[in-house]
Structure 1
Amino acid sequence: MAQSNTQEFYGKDSDNIDMTNADTVTHQPKGAEAASPENGHGVPTLVTSHEANPVLERDAQTKGTWAGYVKTKQFWIAMLLGQTLAICITSTNTLSQLLSNEGTSIPAFQSFFNYVLLNLVYTSYTIYKLGFKGWGKIMLKDGWRFFILAFIDVEGNYFIVLAYRYTTLLSAQLINFWAIVVVVILSFLFLRVRYRWTQIAGILLCIGGVGVLFGSDHITGFNQFDAIDPVKGDLFALLGASLYGISNTFEEFLVSEQPLYVVIGQLGFWGMFINGTQAGIFDRTSFRAATWNGAVGGYLTGYTLILSLFYSLAPILFRLTSAAFFNISLLTGNFWGVAIGIKVFHYHIHWMYPIAFVLILVGQVIYFLRQGSLAEQKKPWLGEDQDKGVSGIGTAKRRVENPDAIV
């Protein structure tokens, strides 16, 4: 059982935690080289140099070449995962709209159940793997970092919801582009990420695609509503987008060094208390005035399950790619929102929508067009051989240790 080895679970080597072949690393003596898969005779072979590892060697050979990463399976998995997350966030927005149509508007309170579910699932699993002593070490050593992550995440959600109350949907969504800018700046300054011109071009093309969506909305009059207080709403949206950018960058850093279940569990644990306190303060009146029926219960259940799925999958995309790609992946949300709205709200897709969707996807391809076979899976802050990171699902270190691993 995991409880018998708690003395090395946390600290500098805290990523050396088994996660049933998903987040798996092994302790090694100081200075020892990482072990590669077995050589066919049941005996592990040792990786003694950068060149000896086929994964790192292939990455070095393909770095800067055209379509080095686009030809890999990891690229298509990242693209699919990005669109899955875009559909998830669009689905939660649709369910929020359905709740509002029923007369139930409790933005802070409805997210509370998401944090509760994440805490129940991932904190329970953390305790199962590490024991109460190991979990306690997490709380004592790094609890403050996870508290900050949860606080920023909760407040980002809160201020974006407030923005939609005061300003137009178009204005708030335009300001959300600021989250991409924040991520790029923070990653450059603090995570030593260096962007190629193709990545910048890809981001700009994705933003241009969303501009086509907004142009279509303007032509058709879709999503055009009067703003109650545009200045206040725009400031809330700007603050919310900034917090989103900070939390995305911070979470990418944390999941590269810690097992997924630890990060998500801690986010759920602290988020539950922060969001619960905030909901108790600001949503009491709305909660009492809300409509409660079977439909509302179903919408809340669906909202919680889908949002929890989003929070579970997002860290994998952070590992496979980056917080920047995560944000440009979500730009297709407008298209998916209208696609879902055709069935739910009887919307009609304007002819410009498919063009915008294709532009965003092409921008995402261009973003990766001149990257090596590991692309952003290889994090610059983890060292050349990624030895400072955790070996888990979606990490470059896992592929270095097991060249046959897909993610």
Structure 2
Amino acid sequence: MNTLMQDSNIKKVVTGKILALIILNAIIDLEANFLIVTSFEYASVTSIVLANSMTVPFAMIMSTKYRKQHFIGVIFCLLGLIFLIVQTNQPANDLQSSSYMKGMLLAVGGAFLYALANTVQEYLLNYVGSYEYLGLLSAFGLIFGISQSFALEYHKITQMDSSNATFLAFYALAIFVFYSLVPFVILHTSATALNLSLLTTYIYTLIGYMILFNQKLEYWYFGSFSLVLAGLALFYLTPEQTFDIKGESKNYAINIQSEK
């Protein structure tokens, strides 16, 4: 029976609109990663980390029926981002204003596309199994990714030394593990819950940035980060309601208490 259901799912994916959505989502996810990685060429790690936290309110707007508390949380997140941009974009900054703003726009654009990809993924998992989805997304993502890499960065790839190749291999391994686990997290929670959980990586990034690069974080980074966290905390305290394709509601209370 399970085999028949899996075969039916695969047939539906290959012959229906679901396949087109998976292909589209592979492109969206690829470009989200491309924008975020490219943004590191123009803005600092700490700025990009905070800008990427906008993925959460983006995901909330796309996938849920939100309440007053959600609006307040989004406002706090936006205030934190605006405060970050205003404070960092100063003449004393090593990066020029235009370069910094370009990096921030790329990071926010990547956050938006990443939220969109997670929301579409949550929708698709109502129709296909996690393994089928992972297989198809990986196949199309690999094709598009290799094509785009050679089209835009062939010169850099051919001049890559062994040390950079090693870092790239570890990065690819980390991405592989991450994308293998994401569908299961979304399947049992939601796209917003996933992005909230990923906020912990921002803290690790900031700590690693200070240790590896011997950098001192300015006080206003922590002010911006506190505003963002304050907004996001409201999402933990306020239940969200999402709707699947059949119009049935799914309620999530994102907190440390178990559902009753």
Contact persistence 2:55–2:195 (CA under 8 A): yes
Q: 1:186-201 alignment to 2 at 5 Å?
A: 186-187=62-63, 193-201=64-72
Contact persistence 1:206–1:361 (CA under 8 A): yes
Seen in structure 2, the aligned counterparts of structure 1 residues 179 and 341 have a Cα distance that, compared at 3 Å, is closer
> Structure 2 residue aligned with 1:139, among 2, 6, 14?
14
Contact persistence 2:43–2:99 (CA under 8 A): no
Give the letter aligned to residue 205 of structure 1: F
Whether 1:266 and 2:136 are equivalent positions in the alignment is yes
Seen in structure 2, the aligned counterparts of structure 1 residues 322 and 210 have a Cα distance that, compared at 3 Å, is farther
Seen in structure 2, the aligned counterparts of structure 1 residues 298 and 175 have a Cα distance that, compared at 3 Å, is closer
* TM-score, reference length from structure 2: 0.72
Give the equivalent residue in structure 2 for 1:9.
Answer: 6
Whether 1:155 and 2:31 are equivalent positions in the alignment is yes
Seen in structure 2, the aligned counterparts of structure 1 residues 354 and 235 have a Cα distance that, compared at 3 Å, is closer
Contact persistence 1:199–1:368 (CA under 8 A): no
2-structure distance, mates of 1:340, 1:178:
21
Q: Quick check: which has more Rg, 1 or 2?
A: 1
Give the letter aligned to residue 9 of structure 1: Q
1-structure distance, mates of 2:39, 2:54:
14
1-structure distance, mates of 2:178, 2:75:
25
Whether 1:282 and 2:152 are equivalent positions in the alignment is yes
Give the equivalent residue in structure 2 for 1:47.
Answer: none
Seen in structure 2, the aligned counterparts of structure 1 residues 174 and 5 have a Cα distance that, compared at 3 Å, is closer
Shift of residue 289, structure 1, vs aligned partner: 1.9
1-structure distance, mates of 2:53, 2:87:
18
1-structure distance, mates of 2:24, 2:191:
17
Q: Which moved more, 1:327-336 or 1:241-250?
A: 327-336
Q: Alignment partner of 1:225: what SS?
A: coil
Seen in structure 2, the aligned counterparts of structure 1 residues 148 and 247 have a Cα distance that, compared at 3 Å, is same
Shift of residue 168, structure 1, vs aligned partner: 4.2
Q: Gaps (5+ residues) in structure 2?
A: 253-257
* TM-score, reference length from structure 1: 0.50
> Structure 2 residue aligned with 1:202, among 70, 73, 76?
73
2-structure distance, mates of 1:185, 1:332:
21
Q: Alignment partner of 1:283: what SS?
A: helix
Seen in structure 2, the aligned counterparts of structure 1 residues 197 and 381 have a Cα distance that, compared at 3 Å, is farther
Give the equivalent residue in structure 1 for 2:215.
Answer: 347
Shift of residue 290, structure 1, vs aligned partner: 1.9
2-structure distance, mates of 1:349, 1:168:
14
Seen in structure 2, the aligned counterparts of structure 1 residues 341 and 270 have a Cα distance that, compared at 3 Å, is same
Contact persistence 1:331–1:360 (CA under 8 A): no
Question: Which structure has the highest helix share of the two?
Answer: 2
2-structure distance, mates of 1:347, 1:303:
23
Shift of residue 302, structure 1, vs aligned partner: 1.9
Q: Alignment partner of 1:202: what SS?
A: helix
TM-superposition CA deviations, 1:311-337 (whole Å, max 9, x none): 233334434543345445555655432
What fraction of aligned residue pairs are identical, expressed as a percent? 25
Seen in structure 2, the aligned counterparts of structure 1 residues 308 and 213 have a Cα distance that, compared at 3 Å, is farther
Q: 1:351-370 alignment to 2 at 5 Å?
A: 351-354=219-222, 356-370=224-238
Whether 1:323 and 2:191 are equivalent positions in the alignment is yes
Q: 1:11-50 alignment to 2 at 5 Å?
A: 11=8, 14=9
Seen in structure 2, the aligned counterparts of structure 1 residues 334 and 211 have a Cα distance that, compared at 3 Å, is farther
1-structure distance, mates of 2:77, 2:142:
34
Contact persistence 2:39–2:48 (CA under 8 A): yes
Cα RMSD for the two superposed structures: 4.1
2-structure distance, mates of 1:352, 1:248:
30
Give the letter aligned to residue 338 of structure 1: L
Contact persistence 1:183–1:246 (CA under 8 A): yes
TM-superposition CA deviations, 1:193-227 (whole Å, max 9, x none): 310111222233234445565567568x67x5125
2-structure distance, mates of 1:330, 1:211:
21
1-structure distance, mates of 2:110, 2:245:
27
Contact persistence 1:198–1:368 (CA under 8 A): no
